[in-house]
Structure 1
Amino acid sequence: MKYNPAETEEKWQKIWEDRKLFKVATDNSKEKFYCLEMFPYPSGKIHMGHVRNYAIGDVISRYKFMQGFNVLHPMGWDAFGLPAENAAIENSTHPAVWTKNNISYMKAQLKKLGLSYDWDREVATCDPEYYKWEQMVFIQMYEKGLVYKKKSLLNWCDDCNTVLANEQVEDGACWRCGHEVRIKELDGWYLKITDYADELLDFTEKLDGWPSKVLTMQQNWIGKSYGAEIDFALTHSDEKIKVFTTRPDTLFGATFMSLAPEHPMAKALLKGTEQEKEGLEFIDAILKDDKVNRMADDKEKKGVFTGRYAINPVTGYQMPIFLANFVLMDYGTGAVMAVPAHDQRDFEFAKKYGCELKIVIMPKEGLELETMTEAYTGAGTLVNSGVFDGTDNESAKKAIVDYLDTHNLGKSTVNYRLRDWQISRQRYWGAPIPFIQCDCCGSVPVPFDQLPVQLPDVDFNPEMRGNPLDKVESFVNTTCPKCGKPARRETDTMDTFMESSWYFLRYTSPQCDTAPFNKDDANYWMNVDQYIGGIEHAILHLLYARFYTKVMRDLGYVSVDEPFKRLLTQGMVCKETYKCPVDGWLFPEESKEGKCAKCGGDVVIGRVEKMSKSKKNVIDPNKLIQTYGADTARLFILFASPPERELEWSDSGVEGSFRFLNRVYRLVFNNLELIKADHAGTAEDALTKELLYALHSTVKKVTEDIERYQLNTAVAAMMEFVNSLYSAEANLTDGHKALFKDCLLTLIKILAPFTPHLAEELWEMTGQAELVSRAEWVKFDAAHTQKDEIVVAVQVNGKLRGQIGISRNMAQDDVFALALANENVSKHTDGMTFVKKIYVPNKLVNFVVK
């Protein structure tokens, strides 16, 4: 009889749904386990990256179910954002309609995968009953001083027509569309994530279940550094420029100042000088450049003299002030004291623009200005530094800061790379910011009883640019809640990362209508025990979610400090590309035996890279499921690679997974009579020992591998187990049947988290009353996980000369005797004098001879 995945999978999916098998509730009498995969943006189709992410989470969840945990495994939709709005415009439809249709289609796709979700907890972030609470918390954050509005120079994407946070700019381009980002001055709303910088940084040391790479990325992004803030007076006015430096020991060598072109004083310094025109043109040109590109070591250092001077507070030296392309407002104060003898960028700049160099740190081997070809950045003793001469530079750092503090010239301080989170977006499809702008009262929050501020309906068309909310008078025109006078509603919407920063909390009680979530439910379920998603979110979603959780804690909503206990960042799914010189990129099915199915031309097979729609190297999960079934898709994607590494697609690997499931089906089906019968007694012979070893060592291996999320090796162990059972099948006697039956039923149980449909079908076929999804996970006996007969390597003078089979824990002299009886070993020891005989029990023999 042949396994029919189409019939089987549809059958069991309906049974699970009808029985609400994975519906859970808060139960303080049971130990909980909260497993969560990053929820998808409803783009319209599930791709293989989704399948991998969700299959990993489903194995973990089903395994924990079988272990007796109260498992929360929810799913929802990250439904707001620019892609939906842009797609809606392109397709002449409304984003709400587009999103709703996509959710419906993708939900059906997910259900075909047989995932163990509690669909009663489904959320969509575009639902007013979701973002209502987000708006309320936003107002509470404002009242707590964590939200403010200001005008500033911001990252702007012309293609998306909106502002981007610093974290959303990747190599100078928009993280969504790849368009070049430019700087634009705008009003915007900010969250004071910097208030939590220290706690966010400190807790990275406590997140033991997170990949070190992600924690390092967050630590670097927060970028905490210790140094001094120094005031530099100006020669032409009473104003001062503040500079942050981590090298106060070099202050006596500062001979010019470099300012970021976007520094708020830049244009004022230029005003009225001969350099004004050139300086303003320089500012405009540099602000179009990529920030990362500006900071690159090999980037040409460019600058413009402002015509103004600052005074070095310890030397009195008049330092020319330059605007420089390599200085950014994102770091420190946007002003740098330039010490060209001891900083390479400053050195290159000084050589180009004729600025003075002054050595103030002398290494033991000495240093001469005339022979310097690069800056000296190492340790040494201070010279040309007044009363600090002769002090080692590390000690001088504190001494100079103390001097500055005493004379009111500066102070010790800490700097962060992290900047406040700019959340205003000038687009329609997002949660409205719940504020009203009044000429008399300023920014006024919408009263809680008027929430949610719902998005009005608007007409969409392909020519639409900018934010259509600005044009909806019935939405914009309102009255001030404070004074009652005419006012305007805020038309910016929130960054879509706001919604994904707390959705995992809403899952704990998604029907709660009195608060964002029920506190008791949240305190029971949180933290998320296992979170699964891509590493590309390391300093976007993952950092924001940590911040938001701490804010919710401080607002009294939840007791946890961190959202995610363990994090698994799954690798990408990759496949080779196919390209026709005539028709361009081809889908895999458009390449037949090296020829283009469209024109018949030769196809160039490219390198293996991440599956992407643009290069068409994608596999449609729907087609895969139609051909082989969801269990095959799941099994292949779990077996082909460790979860955290890239997975290279293999059609033959998929076929191999399908063949394996058919082997399992036949093995059980062909032994149904044996399984349904009762058997007495167990033979005490070699086959029994082999079966016991195969059974218990497999359960041990699979259990331990799931616990450490090495799912590929767990699958490999089950495949070996099936091979062992096929080998034993032909040699069974009545004394083996009870044990063989146990092996087959155990095989079905341990397969259940990986291939749940097939496991349920086989479990039912064997006459079991309950579902295998609710069967108890199998335990192993450690005594049967080691073979009595083992193989030991035999060396002579450290070189392998043979192998011998011995009984475990055999006496040492007996082992030596067996080793010397080996033909090749005896050939290398006959006639030799034994200097030493070494035995590492159950592992190694080594004879040292001469």
Structure 2
Amino acid sequence: MVDFRAIEEKWQKKWNEEKIFEPKIDRNKPKFYITVAFPYLSGHLHVGHARTYTIPDVIARFKRMQGYNVLFPMAWHITGSPIVGIAERIKHRDPQTIFVYRDVYKVPEEILWTFEDPINIVKYFMKAAKETFIRAGFSVDWSREFHTTSLHPQFNAFITWQFLRLKEKGLIVKGAHRVRWDPVVGTPLGDHDLMDGEDVPILEYILIKFILEENGEIIYLPAATLRPETVYGVTNMWLNPNATYVKAKVKYKGKEETWIVSKEAAYKLSFQDKEIEVLEEFKGEKLIGKWVKNPVTGDEVIILPADFVDPDNATGVVMSVPAHAPFDHAALEDLKRNTEILLKYDIDPRIVENITYISLIELEGYGEFPAVEEAEKLGVKSQEDKEKLEQATKTIYKAEYHKGIFKIEPYKGIPVSKVKDLVAEDMKKKGIADIMYEFADKNVISRFGNRAVVKIIHDQWFIDYGNPEWKAKAFECLEQMKIIPESRRAQFRAVFDWIEKKACARKIGLGTPLPWDPEWVIESLSDSTIYMAYYTISRAINKYGIKGEQLIPELFDYIFLEERSGEKEKELSNKTGIPAEVIKEMKEEFEYWYPLDWRCSAKDLIPNHLTFFVFNHVAIFDKKYWPKGIAVNGYGTLEGKKMSKSKGNVLNFIDAINENGADVVRLYIMSLAEHDSDFDWRSKEVSKLKGQLERFYELISEFAEYDAKPAELKDIDKWMLHRINKAIEGATKALEEFRTRTAVQWAFYSILNDLRWYMRRTEGRDDEAKRYVLRTLADVWVRLMAPFTPHICEELWEKLGGDGFVSLAKWPEPNPEWWNETIELEENYIKSLIEDIKEIIRVAKLEDAKRAYIYTAPEWKWKVAEIVAEKRDFKAVMSEVMKDPEMRKKGKEVASLVNKLIKERAFEIKRIDEEKALKEAKDFIEKELGLEIIINPEEDKGGKAKQAMPMKPAVFIE
């Protein structure tokens, strides 16, 4: 057993002592600057995080070995309300929170109760995260470490400067905007402030005010819809008879009206610029059977009962458009069949029976009533066929929106996609419609444990990402950036298109005070956009003990935005007390390391952090400092299930390291998935890999004892060296493209498999050539594996007598002398032949066979094959072949061969000396098969010889 833990501790200590990952300016080397989104420290990192952070470390190590001066720094994110929310829940002994922190994160109980103070949460998990990163072997420059919020005055000063500059440019504005809101705590909620529902969009419903007249009083029933144009096709209204509705005075926009909405809707509307005074509460059944007037058409329509109406969705008042809404059609048909319900509410069944559908939209491929046709097509029997109805709804809504033409005046002939907004605007101008904002899913929960609402905020500070000039610059930057995988570029473009104002400050939580309005605190997704620039100067700030108050905005202006000037450095030195040479050093560091070469993060940050990262860079920095690349990775699952802290289905990164060793964890995660595809952690597979890595260690340790003197090589030795070249080339190309799974396949599994074959082929040999090949392989293999398994490889590099650290050794390059495609083809030929003979023996049940006769393709077949590979067309091939008199004699046989090769698309065939390859491998083949091998005998056993094809010998077994 290899003691992975002892090896890890040994080399982590040496790396730290030698500070080999703390780069300085070196103009003799190309620089390479890579960062990853710093972790949010509300808990331990899990194995999903492990992938996000291991990828850039592998790339950093790879580039360092390629001769680049690599900067890979790390910091900690503690801004926002989540940590404060956790402290509150622990203070109130919330059982779920206690379970997560005591049982999942394994925080000792005596420490857990100190978490009532959010600062203690921060301190505990910062220390734990750093220990995890060190234990994982990440090649981080810890001299540049910092954390966010005013608890770190130096970084606080940097964020203050950033926001002052954004405001100067008119990119931070004050105004009204819809936001996610915690109604209990009273704070806006950013993506990081949510426990659940981060991806749930906010929908804009149009509320069409249907009119109920009672005792001379005008009462409005605001029907919520996402398709306002369908108001022309309303045949009835739906209310849930069992839901609680309210009659309320609603004051908004200088008006006072009486509305009837669900009780839940009244609560939500109170956050959306409406003053709500509830006058009466009642069940929906009170209104069933009453008639309301359509404010657009003037039609009187009846209110019908519908259990499917959700009072917690929008207003709980739904207009029915059965010609174009499958659910409405199904519900009406159900009512026609169930007259008992109608009689319960004293509704004459004939009223429902006589409801006439109203056709609004021409849609190619459908008749007057698309919803009816689509429901029938899918076999909908009743409104209980919810899956079919949902499918029908998606199909019809999408088709009508994109291809439908409206056929009702005054919008006749206009595409539905345009009519929708026209109808909404016209109704709002006439005062017969309003707006309500609602989540697409109810389950939007804040980190404080409260259900969020949509609130209209006034006097809120926003970053105006909708600014058209700013967007244009962001798009310009995006188009010149590398995006990995490239398929994600379209998503970035879409996000850039729709992104508008974003609330950038809160009144609660940890963070940097807004410099011009310190009651507000800058939120977590707004203070984490350009901190990569701060990394470049943080080493000097930490080293020289520069204080936050010394870092004035004018200093940051000079470092990041202005030309170099000795006079300016002296002037700033007088103002700040920072030595001029230190200011010069900071500026030189920024200008050396910037622009950022790669930004790495998980795919869920594309709609927020990664987009803001691009926008803020182009807003503040000169074009030459715009970022050059973004690499996106996927998520992780655990034993086939989504990781969930609340369910205890989480594997902490540090626990995985303790159980398996850092190198095993690193290699396993890197081998699982490519780019932004997701991976699944399987404990059995990890154990298997651990055994393979131990075998790797043993093999290299053994090969380290061999001499590396060149010797006369046999073909199989040359094959192994050629395959080493292939592995170097494959791993290098994959790592350049961040394809870690492919890189592991080449650097580890491919070599492991090739070595197994080589050892089989050379069994019994113990000569100088074999020892030379194995010693050479060891030297290359250790370096190829170093980015993935750095601890083991350092130990093995030492055994091999390598100079210094393998982490700083030269990355292998293919040796031109080792390339030999012919030998590889010959070896593949031998492998394939052995497998074919084994299969023949198995199928024909020839277990007692004694010998095998092997016939190789004659020269004329090789000539035909080569012409086929060149011409790839039957007529062209035959024309060329028939120039040869000998070929003409074989007319039909040649034509048959040409036809066969073209049909099989055998266009990549390359010539080898089949007989030579067979003779050199004869002993090995006999040993593998336990048969006597006879190559190209004069006697044509079983008439097999004529079946021989290039690269496919004919075989007769007896």
- TM-score w.r.t. structure 2 length? 0.56
* Structure 1 residue aligned with 2:712: 682
* Structure 2 residue aligned with 1:535: 603
How many aligned residue pairs are there? 661
In the alignment, the residues of structure 1 paired with residue 225 and residue 798 of structure 2 have an alpha-carbon distance, to the nearest angstrom, of 71
* Structure 1 residue aligned with 2:870: none
Residues 644-793 of structure 1 correspond to what in structure 2 (within 5 A)? 644-675=676-707, 679-683=709-713, 685-706=714-735, 707=737, 708-710=739-741, 711-714=743-746, 715-724=748-757, 726-727=759-760, 728=762, 730-780=764-814, 781=816, 783-784=819-820, 787-789=824-826, 790-791=828-829
Q: Secondary structure at the match of 2:38?
A: coil
1:18 aligned onto 2:48 = no
Code of the residue aligned with 1:148 in structure 2: it is K
Structure 1 residues 488-545: Cα deviation after superposition (integer angstroms, max 9, x where no partner): x51x433222233333343233356432873576676556544443333343xxx244
Q: Secondary structure at the match of 2:556?
A: coil
1:422 aligned onto 2:514 = no
Q: 1:137 to 1:356 in 2, by over 3 A?
A: farther
Match of 1:553 among 614, 618, 626: 618
1:148 aligned onto 2:213 = no
Structure 1 residues 359-416: Cα deviation after superposition (integer angstroms, max 9, x where no partner): 3434587537999998976669978645876x47579969989x99xx999xxxx999
* Structure 2 residue aligned with 1:48: 47
* Structure 2 residue aligned with 1:460: none
Q: 1:310 to 1:62 in 2, by over 3 A?
A: same
In the alignment, the residues of structure 2 paired with residue 350 and residue 221 of structure 1 have an alpha-carbon distance, to the nearest angstrom, of 30
1:567 aligned onto 2:635 = no
* Structure 2 residue aligned with 1:518: 560
Assess if the C-alpha contact under 8 Å between 1:286 and 1:325 holds in 2: no
Residues 775-814 of structure 1 correspond to what in structure 2 (within 5 A)? 775-780=809-814, 781=816, 783-784=819-820, 787-789=824-826, 790-791=828-829, 812-813=861-862
Match of 2:159 among 134, 137, 141: 134
Q: 1:135 to 1:325 in 2, by over 3 A?
A: farther
Q: Secondary structure at the match of 2:632?
A: strand
Q: 1:357 to 1:730 in 2, by over 3 A?
A: same
* Structure 1 residue aligned with 2:527: 499
* Structure 2 residue aligned with 1:98: 121
Q: Secondary structure at the match of 1:129?
A: helix
Q: Which one has the largest radius of gyration?
A: 2
Structure 1 residues 158-198: Cα deviation after superposition (integer angstroms, max 9, x where no partner): 4xx35344756xxxxx732x5xx9xxxxxxxxxxxxxxxxx
Structure 1 residues 602-652: Cα deviation after superposition (integer angstroms, max 9, x where no partner): xxxxxx423444444444554554555322232233335546444443444
Assess if the C-alpha contact under 8 Å between 1:534 and 1:571 holds in 2: yes
Q: 1:267 to 1:811 in 2, by over 3 A?
A: farther
In the alignment, the residues of structure 2 paired with residue 616 and residue 396 of structure 1 have an alpha-carbon distance, to the nearest angstrom, of 49
Task: Report the Cα offset of residue 572 of structure 1.
Answer: 0.7
Residues 50-129 of structure 1 correspond to what in structure 2 (within 5 A)? 50-88=49-87, 90=90, 91-92=113-114, 94-126=117-149, 127-129=152-154
Segment of structure 1 superposing worse, 738-747 or 500-509: 500-509
Segment of structure 1 superposing worse, 65-74 or 755-764: 65-74
* Structure 2 residue aligned with 1:33: 32
Code of the residue aligned with 1:49 in structure 2: it is G
In the alignment, the residues of structure 2 paired with residue 44 and residue 759 of structure 1 have an alpha-carbon distance, to the nearest angstrom, of 31
Task: Report the Cα offset of residue 686 of structure 1.
Answer: 2.5
Q: Secondary structure at the match of 2:641?
A: strand
In the alignment, the residues of structure 2 paired with residue 702 and residue 744 of structure 1 have an alpha-carbon distance, to the nearest angstrom, of 16
Assess if the C-alpha contact under 8 Å between 2:633 and 2:676 holds in 1: yes
Greater helix content: 2
Assess if the C-alpha contact under 8 Å between 1:41 and 1:77 holds in 2: yes
Assess if the C-alpha contact under 8 Å between 1:660 and 1:719 holds in 2: no
* Structure 1 residue aligned with 2:5: 6
Aligned-residue RMSD, C-alpha? 6.0
Task: Report the Cα offset of residue 667 of structure 1.
Answer: 2.2
- TM-score w.r.t. structure 1 length? 0.62
* Structure 1 residue aligned with 2:641: 609
* Structure 1 residue aligned with 2:444: none
In the alignment, the residues of structure 1 paired with residue 787 and residue 66 of structure 2 have an alpha-carbon distance, to the nearest angstrom, of 11
Residues 134-533 of structure 1 correspond to what in structure 2 (within 5 A)? 134-143=159-168, 144=170, 146-150=172-176, 154-156=180-182, 158=184, 161-165=185-189, 167=191, 175-176=194-195, 178=196, 267-268=251-252, 275-276=258-259, 278-279=260-261, 281=263, 283-284=265-266, 341-342=323-324, 358-362=358-362, 367=368, 385=408, 391=413, 393=415, 420-434=501-515, 445=516, 490=519, 492-510=520-538, 511=540, 513=551, 514-515=555-556, 518-519=560-561, 525=593, 528-533=596-601
Structure 1 residues 527-585: Cα deviation after superposition (integer angstroms, max 9, x where no partner): 6544443333343xxx244235424422x33437975723222331413xxxxxxxxxx
Q: 1:118 to 1:788 in 2, by over 3 A?
A: same
In the alignment, the residues of structure 1 paired with residue 854 and residue 36 of structure 2 have an alpha-carbon distance, to the nearest angstrom, of 48
Code of the residue aligned with 2:631 in structure 1: it is L
Task: Report the Cα offset of residue 755 of structure 1.
Answer: 1.0
Q: Secondary structure at the match of 2:32?
A: strand
In the alignment, the residues of structure 1 paired with residue 134 and residue 114 of structure 2 have an alpha-carbon distance, to the nearest angstrom, of 29
Task: Report the Cα offset of residue 67 of structure 1.
Answer: 1.8
Q: 1:560 to 1:87 in 2, by over 3 A?
A: farther
* Structure 1 residue aligned with 2:923: none
Q: 1:739 to 1:44 in 2, by over 3 A?
A: same
In the alignment, the residues of structure 2 paired with residue 15 and residue 737 of structure 1 have an alpha-carbon distance, to the nearest angstrom, of 31
In the alignment, the residues of structure 2 paired with residue 76 and residue 691 of structure 1 have an alpha-carbon distance, to the nearest angstrom, of 44
Code of the residue aligned with 1:422 in structure 2: it is A
In the alignment, the residues of structure 2 paired with residue 345 and residue 269 of structure 1 have an alpha-carbon distance, to the nearest angstrom, of 34
Q: 1:566 to 1:749 in 2, by over 3 A?
A: same
Task: Report the Cα offset of residue 117 of structure 1.
Answer: 0.8
Assess if the C-alpha contact under 8 Å between 1:691 and 1:740 holds in 2: no
Q: Secondary structure at the match of 2:528?
A: helix
Segment of structure 1 superposing worse, 83-92 or 565-574: 83-92
Task: Report the Cα offset of residue 111 of structure 1.
Answer: 0.9
Task: Report the Cα offset of residue 116 of structure 1.
Answer: 0.8
In the alignment, the residues of structure 1 paired with residue 756 and residue 715 of structure 2 have an alpha-carbon distance, to the nearest angstrom, of 17
In the alignment, the residues of structure 2 paired with residue 39 and residue 752 of structure 1 have an alpha-carbon distance, to the nearest angstrom, of 24
Match of 2:896 among 816, 836, 850: 836
Assess if the C-alpha contact under 8 Å between 2:181 and 2:188 holds in 1: yes
In the alignment, the residues of structure 2 paired with residue 498 and residue 44 of structure 1 have an alpha-carbon distance, to the nearest angstrom, of 21
Assess if the C-alpha contact under 8 Å between 2:209 and 2:295 holds in 1: no
Structure 1 residues 65-122: Cα deviation after superposition (integer angstroms, max 9, x where no partner): 1122332211111122334334545324533343223312321221122111111222
Q: Secondary structure at the match of 1:79?
A: coil
Code of the residue aligned with 1:67 in structure 2: it is Q
The answer for unaligned runs of 5 or more in structure 1 is 169-173, 182-216, 237-242, 290-300, 330-334, 435-444, 447-488, 576-607, 796-800, 818-831
Code of the residue aligned with 1:689 in structure 2: it is K
Assess if the C-alpha contact under 8 Å between 2:794 and 2:807 holds in 1: yes
Q: 1:388 to 1:3 in 2, by over 3 A?
A: closer
Q: 1:141 to 1:609 in 2, by over 3 A?
A: same
Code of the residue aligned with 2:623 in structure 1: it is S
In the alignment, the residues of structure 1 paired with residue 249 and residue 329 of structure 2 have an alpha-carbon distance, to the nearest angstrom, of 24
Q: 1:62 to 1:418 in 2, by over 3 A?
A: closer
